[in-house]
Amino acid sequence: MRGSLSLAATPASWWFQLPGLLKLCAERLPEVELDFTDVPPIETLARVGNRRADLGFVVTADPAEVGRHHPELQMQVLTELPPVLIVPAEMDAPERASVHDFTHVPWIVPGKLLGFPGPIDIFHELWDTSPTGPPRYWEVSTLQSAIPIVADGMGVALMPDEVRNHISPRVKTVELTDQIRPLYSVVVWRKDQRPDGVLAAFLQLLELEVDDAANS
C-alpha cells in the first residue's frame, strides 16, 4: 500500500490513540506518508471540511452536537473518556471525593467554543442544580493549559482519566464519586470521501488500535 494521508488533530488527541496509531501505521503501512498538524478543534474540523486534511481527531463532550454543526463530516467515536479531577500534589485531598468537596478553590476550565461542546459545558452541568452555584473558575485555551496552572497550586481541573499517563509529578488525580458525563475521542472525515485505498487501510488500523486499548 502506497500513498499519503494528511491528519489534523487537537492537542488533547495526543493523549489517546493517536501516538499508538502513528506507530502502528509505520509498522503496518511503511510506504504510506503521513502529514499531521496540531491545531485547535474548530480548525481541525475546518481543515477536514475544506479538504486540507483527510482525517481529523478531536475530543468533545457531545459528538452528536458536533455532527449537527458539521453535516458534511462523518464522525466515529473512538473512546469514551471518563473524568477525574487533577489537583496540586501538595493538596490534602482524598483518593476519592465529590466535586462538591472542591468548591473552595478555583477551577481551571477550557473556554467555550461555538458549536463545539467541551469541558466547560460539563462543568456548568455539574453546578446547574447546586444552590450555591458554580465555584470560581478561570478559562484557559486547552486542557493542556490547565495542567501547569494546577501544578502551581492555583486551582483544580476536570480531565479525562487518560491524563494519568501524561501529567506532571506536581499534580495528582482524584477519583470522582459524582455522575459526570464523559468526553469522547472522535475521528472525522468527509462524507463525500469514499473510505477506500490508503484511507480505508488507515481506518482499519484505527479499529485495531481501539480494540487493543480496550483489551489492555
Q: Are residues 19 and 97 in the same domain?
A: no
Average pLDDT along the chain: 88
What is the extent of the structural domain holding 52?
3-80+183-215
Q: Are residues 28 and 113 in the same domain?
A: no
C-alpha cell, 214: 480496550
106, 136 Cβ separation under 8 angstroms: yes
Total count of domains within the chain: 2
> pLDDT tens, 48-106?
999 999 999 999 999 999 999 999 999 999 889 999 999 999 999 999 999 999 999 99
Q: Are residues 172 and 137 in the same domain?
A: yes
Check pLDDT > 80 for residue 146. yes
Phi, psi of 5 (to 5 degrees): -140, 140
Residue 181 CA to residue 82 CA, distance in Å, equals 7
Q: Are residues 62 and 130 in the same domain?
A: no
> pLDDT tens, 5-56?
999 999 888 876 788 888 888 899 888 888 989 999 999 999 999 999 999 9
Q: Which of 49, 45, 59 is nearest to 190 (CA)?
A: 49
Q: Are residues 87 and 169 in the same domain?
A: yes
pLDDT at residue 7, as a whole number: 94
CATH number, residue 72 = 3.40.190.10
pLDDT at residue 207, as a whole number: 76
Average pLDDT over residues 175-199: 89
Q: Are residues 149 and 187 in the same domain?
A: no
Residue 190 CA to residue 53 CA, distance in Å, equals 10
C-alpha cell, 20: 499508538
Check pLDDT > 50 for residue 177. yes
Residue 12 CA to residue 80 CA, distance in Å, equals 14
Q: Are residues 114 and 158 in the same domain?
A: yes
Helix (H) or strand (E) holding 96: strand 96-97
Query: What sections of the chain are H helices per DSSP?
Result: 17-28, 41-49, 63-69, 119-127, 143-151, 197-215
pLDDT at residue 203, as a whole number: 85
Q: Are residues 191 and 135 in the same domain?
A: no
**Radius of gyration of the chain from its Cα atoms, rounded to whole angstroms:** 18
Q: Are residues 62 and 106 in the same domain?
A: no
Residue 78 CA to residue 202 CA, distance in Å, equals 14
Q: Are residues 76 and 87 in the same domain?
A: no
C-alpha cell, 168: 506532571
pLDDT at residue 74, as a whole number: 92
What's the pTM value of the predicted model, to 2 decimals? 0.87
Q: Are residues 35 and 74 in the same domain?
A: yes
**Which of residues 108 and 163 earns the better pLDDT score?**
108
**Which of residues 27 and 215 earns the better pLDDT score?**
27
Q: Are residues 94 and 151 in the same domain?
A: yes
Kindly report the number of other CB atoms within 10 A of residue 109's CB atom. Answer: 23
